[in-house]
């Protein structure tokens, strides 16, 4: 599991750790990790042309120290100081001692150095940054992106907001970010995360001083441990019966995909509530499905998945499923019929457009502040909110956040959301809490998208669905091998 902490938590942990170390030792740990990543990426620093962009704080200090070390190993290094009056004194002295050249940001030599750089180290702002670069820094960042070979951001790409994942103004767009101690929200939540590139973490010994993380990124082993495992005594009821209220005459495919997602996700049984014609289509593909005309008449279930492709005019059925006192997942058209607040476990699965409609804001505003708005909806409806997109977020009303790392644009195909709704519904029915059900489903769904894409061409939702057993099988196998 990868952890994410707030700037306040990181600063408190750094203070506690630094109190046990000689002055400057913590920064040297960070610098050692940064230099070894740079050296590895450069294939050896000897002869490389490096430019350090250094702001006036400790982030600039890291970059200047790293520049000094790289110069000591034969690199040709220039430092561009954005705040010459506040440059990190020890870092700057070490840099000069190692033979590095120093220029001011407005010097023409800065542009020339960037134009021939193999590597630019972005040390303009770190966790002290408030988001948005000043005009001179923005110009250097743009030149670096246009002209230089590779940009490595120190701790995080300068100009993004560390704690929100928002990018409110100009910012560095890095190829790689070398981050220290723990993850930051800006490294996992878009749009900021898109500017971080590949993230390498450097252990500086902070972990014992950090609190339990509110935000995490699940990995294979975490997901495998959370997946329900049918035991010898299991029957179809204990594995979980999922009620599916999805699809319509207009969108019968949504019913097929949601039922398929639930069955392939491990449900012991699926009960489908809907019109006879759609039910017949569902049963021709999934003959094991039990069907009934309405939520009230379909029989007992352990959780409901409602809304995918449902169309208009089914509000009473949605209300019946939501009011059944069971865990419920609400997707797509079901989101038009939400109660004032949920009293029991609930998982809402909007994409940005649906969340925009729910909250009465523009879609662009949701995309710019994804975590903020997912949190707002989770609080407003007392429900876990899974906000779909390039990086899917799952936010519980108590403030815990899971960020999905397996997303792929291969999932950008009609109907993949219906598969996700069925899959997550099966996990709710198996007894997972909404945060676990949503984050495990998003993870597995992303891996299925990757596998489907690897098989070639442009995968359809059906192709993604078809990969679920293989994904679940390999996660379980890895878990068994580890355990």
Ligand X SMILES: NC(=O)C1=CN([C@@H]2O[C@H](COP(=O)(O)OP(=O)(O)OC[C@H]3O[C@@H](n4cnc5c(N)ncnc54)[C@H](OP(=O)(O)O)[C@@H]3O)[C@@H](O)[C@H]2O)[C@@H](O)CC1
Ligand Y SMILES: Nc1ncnc2c1ncn2[C@@H]1O[C@H](COP(=O)(O)OP(=O)(O)O)[C@@H](O)[C@H]1O
For ligand Y, the binding residues in 340-379 under the rule CB under 6 A are 351
Q: Does 408 bind ligand Y (CB under 6 A)?
A: yes
Q: How far apart are CA 200 and CA 197, in angstroms?
A: 10
In sequence order, what E strands does 124-197 have? Answer: 150-154, 176-180
Considering the rule CB under 6 A, would residue 155 count as an interface residue with ligand X?
Answer: yes
> Binding to ligand X by residue 55, rule CB under 6 A?
yes
Is 130 within any annotated ligand binding site?
yes
18 binds ligand X (CB under 6 A): yes
**Residue 184 CB, nearest approach to ligand X (Å):** 9
The answer to the question of residue 417 lying near ligand Y (CB under 6 A) is yes
> Shortest gap between Cβ of 158 and K ion (angstroms)?
4
Is 122 annotated to bind ligand? Answer: yes
Q: Is 349 annotated as a binding residue?
A: no
Distance CA 158, CA 293 (A): 56
Q: Which residues have CB under 8 Å from 43's CB, separation 6+?
A: none
> Which among 336, 324, 319 is positioned nearest to 429, based on CA atoms?
324
Element (H, E) at 202: strand 198-202
CA-CA distance, 446 to 432, in Å (whole number)? 19
Looking at the Cβ atoms of 12 and 320, the one nearer to ligand X is: 12
d(CA 150, CA 109): 19
Tell me whether residue 154 or residue 468 sits nearer to K ion (CB atom). 154
| Nearest approach, Cβ of residue 309 and ligand Y (Å) | 7
**Residue 66 in the binding site for ligand X (CB under 6 A):** no
By CB under 6 A, is residue 131 in contact with ligand Y?
no
Indicate which single residue of 56, 243, 425, 434 sits in contact with ligand X (rule: CB under 6 A).
56
Binding of residue 311 to ligand Y (CB under 6 A): no
Q: Is 390 in the site for ligand X (CB under 6 A)?
A: no
388 binds ligand Y (CB under 6 A): yes
Chain positions 69 to 128 lying near ligand X, rule: CB under 6 A, are 125-128
Residue written as tokens 């499905």? 289
Rule CB under 6 A: is residue 416 a binding residue for ligand Y? yes
Burial of 235 (0-12, 13-18, 19+ CB in 10 A): exposed
**CA-to-CA separations, 465 to 17, 61, 88, 284, 334, in angstroms, rounded:** 48, 50, 54, 17, 22
What does each C-alpha distance from 416 to 278, 314, 409 come to in angstroms?
A: 19, 22, 11
Closest CA to 156 of 132, 120, 189, 192: 192
Please choose, out of 68-76, 130-138, 291-299, 383-391, the segment that lies near ligand X by the rule CB under 6 A: 130-138
Among ligand X, K ion, ligand Y, none, the one that 57 touches (CB under a kind-dependent 5 to 8 A) is: ligand X
Q: CB-based burial of residue 15 (10 Å sphere; 0-12 exposed, 13-18 middle, 19+ buried)?
A: exposed
Q: Quick check: 460 binds ligand Y (CB under 6 A)?
A: no
Q: Which residues are annotated as a binding site for AMP?
A: 388-392, 417
**Interacting residue ranges for ligand Y, rule: CB under 6 A:** 332, 351, 388-390, 392, 407-409, 411-412, 414-418, 420, 445
**Binding site residue list for (6S)-NADPHX:** 58-62, 126-132, 155, 254, 309, 351, 418
């Amino acid at each position: 599991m990868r952890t994410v902490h707030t700037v306040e938590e990181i600063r408190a942990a750094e203070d506690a750790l630094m109190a046990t170390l000689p002055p400057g030792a913590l920064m040297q740990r960070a610098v050692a990790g940064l230099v070894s990543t740079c050296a590895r990426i450069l294939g050896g620093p000897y002869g490389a042309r490096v430019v350090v962009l250094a702001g006036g704080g400790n982030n600039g200090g890291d970059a200047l120290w790293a520049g000094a070390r790289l110069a000591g190993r034969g690199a040709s290094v220039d430092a561009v100081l954005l705040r010459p009056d506040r440059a990190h004194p020890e870092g700057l002295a070490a840099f000069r001692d190692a033979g590095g050249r120093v220029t001011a940001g407005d010097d023409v030599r800065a542009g020339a150095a960037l134009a021939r750089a193999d590597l630019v180290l972005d040390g303009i702002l770190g966790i002290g940054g408030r988001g948005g670069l000043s005009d001179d820094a923005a110009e250097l960042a743009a030149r670096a992106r246009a002209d230089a070979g590779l940009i490595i951001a120190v701790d995080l790409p300068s100009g993004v907001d560390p704690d929100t994942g928002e990018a409110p103004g100009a910012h560095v767009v890095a190829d790689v970010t070398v981050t220290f101690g723990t993850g930051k929200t800006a490294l996992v939540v878009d749009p900021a995360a898109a500017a971080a590139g590949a993230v390498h973490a450097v252990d500086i010994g902070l972990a014992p001083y950090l609190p339990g993380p509110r935000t995490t990124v699940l990995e294979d082993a975490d997901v495998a441990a959370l997946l329900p495992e049918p035991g010898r005594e299991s029957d179809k009821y204990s594995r979980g019966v999922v009620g599916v209220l999805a699809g319509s005459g207009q969108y019968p495919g949504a019913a097929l995909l949601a039922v398929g997602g639930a069955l392939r996700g491990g449900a012991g049984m699926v009960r489908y509530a809907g019109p006879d014609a759609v039910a017949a289509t569902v049963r021709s593909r999934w003959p094991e499905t039990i069907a009934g005309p309405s939520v009230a008449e379909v029989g007992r279930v352990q959780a409901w998945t409602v809304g995918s492709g449902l169309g208009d005019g089914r509000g009473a059925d949605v209300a019946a499923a939501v009011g059944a006192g069971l865990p419920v997942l609400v997707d797509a058209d079901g989101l038009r019929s939400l109660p004032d607040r949920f009293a029991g476990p609930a998982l809402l699965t909007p994409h940005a457009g649906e969340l925009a409609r729910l909250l009465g804001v523009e879609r662009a505003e949701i995309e710019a502040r994804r975590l903020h708005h997912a949190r707002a909806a989770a609080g407003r409806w007392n429900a876990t909110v899974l906000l779909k997109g390039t990086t899917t977020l799952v936010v519980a009303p108590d403030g815990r956040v899971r960020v999905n790392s397996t997303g792929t644009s291969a999932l950008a195909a009609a109907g993949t959301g219906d598969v996700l709704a069925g899959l997550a519904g099966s996990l709710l029915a198996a007894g997972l809490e909404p945060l676990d059900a949503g984050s495990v489903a998003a993870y597995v769904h992303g891996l299925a998208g990757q596998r489907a894409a690897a098989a070639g061409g442009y995968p359809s939702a059906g192709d993604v669905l078809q990969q679920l057993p293989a994904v679940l099988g390999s996660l379980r196998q890895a878990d068994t091998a580890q355990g």
